[in-house]
Structure 1
Amino acid sequence: MNSQPEFNLIVIGKRFQTDEDIREENKKNLEQGEKMFHLIENKACVGVITYLPQNPNDLHPWIGLLIIHKEHEKTGIGTLALKLLDDELAAQRIDKVRLCVQNGNDKGASFWQKNGFHKISEGLDQHHNPIAIYEKQK
């Protein structure tokens, strides 16, 4: 998480998270049923992708986070992780998935649009940040 300080700044308003911040956020998300996959390369974690099979707010599956360690950006790992998640969702007969992108996260918005997501609405995230909500139909 802390290899991407610009992302942290947009989402939580500070560049770096403590280990306790990360544990607490993960604990809350896992209690809601979120699934977390660590992206491993050469026995090292280089990223994380998470999804919530059924968001209690709209009952749709949501991607919660895709973050790649800064040293491994632009290597195709994010696209591969998304492909693997697409396969997982297809195996569960899930035909669409949503996610949010915080306003100002142009790099994130570009990635999701390149991977078939389109903006369907706007809102606020759990930190009260303005967001764009994206969806992809399978």
Structure 2
Amino acid sequence: MPLQFVPVTKKDFPIIQSIFAENPHYVQLEDRIYLLSDDELEEEFLNADTISLLCIDGDDVLALIDYLPEHPTDHSTWIGLFIMSERLHRQGIGSMIYRMFHEQYLQDCPVIRLAVLPENVSGRRYWEHLDFRFERQGVSDCHQPVEVFLKINSSDDRMLK
């Protein structure tokens, strides 16, 4: 069975918890307490603003992706979370998943942005490898300093103004 992206449902909450549990370094960088409550998971992954997807290969969950199709201020698409099981890191699987996700969901988005915590060196390298470029310093919704990266999909640069 080929890789598929499926919408997150409430029944997926234990899987989401396990993905975070498999990434203690990221959880520490994010400075959040896990396990998240069902209410917190619902607020983060079942809200009306973002789209949350699991990337699956048969019965194996490979990644969790949460993205905002159109930011209310800059009108660009924002990837809020792209996290996969730590056992899959540094094998090219994340790049393959991102490229499939991009092809299926982001191909028509002129500008894609995301934020990386400054201490997340491997995350920064990952996004730079995928042609995302540093745009500016920023602050996350959780009031943490972040580095904003962007990728332009087309020659339409009106989104940058």
TM-score tier (shorter): 0.7 to 0.9
Aligned to 1:137: 152
- Where structure 1 has 5 or more consecutive residues not aligned to the other structure, the ranges are none
Does 2:25 match 1:6? Answer: yes
Q: Among all aligned residue pairs of Structure 1 and Structure 2, give the percentage whose two residues are the same amino acid.
A: 23
Give the whole-Å Cα distance in 1 for the aligned partners of 2:44 and 2:89.
Answer: 27
TM-score (structure 2 length as normaliser): 0.74
Structure-2 separation of matches of 1:32 and 1:122? 27
Matched, 1:106 2:125: no
SS of 1:78's partner is: helix
TM-score by length of 1: 0.86
Question: Structure 1 residue 126: deviation in Å?
Answer: 1.4
1:79 aligns with 2:80: no
Aligned length: 133
> Alpha-carbon deviation of 1:129?
1.1
Match of 1:45 in 2: 61
CA RMSD after TM alignment: 1.8
- 1:64 Cα deviation after fit: 1.0
Q: Which one-letter code corresponds to 2:61 in the other structure? A: C
- 1:108 alignment partner AA: G
The match for 2:7 is none
SS where residue 97 of structure 2 aligns?
Answer: helix
**Corresponding letter in the other structure for 1:18:** L
Q: 1:121 to 1:63 in 2, by over 3 A?
A: same
Residue of structure 1 equivalent to 2:5 = none
- Is 1:62 the equivalent of 2:78? yes
User: Which range moved further: 5-14 or 100-109?
Assistant: 5-14
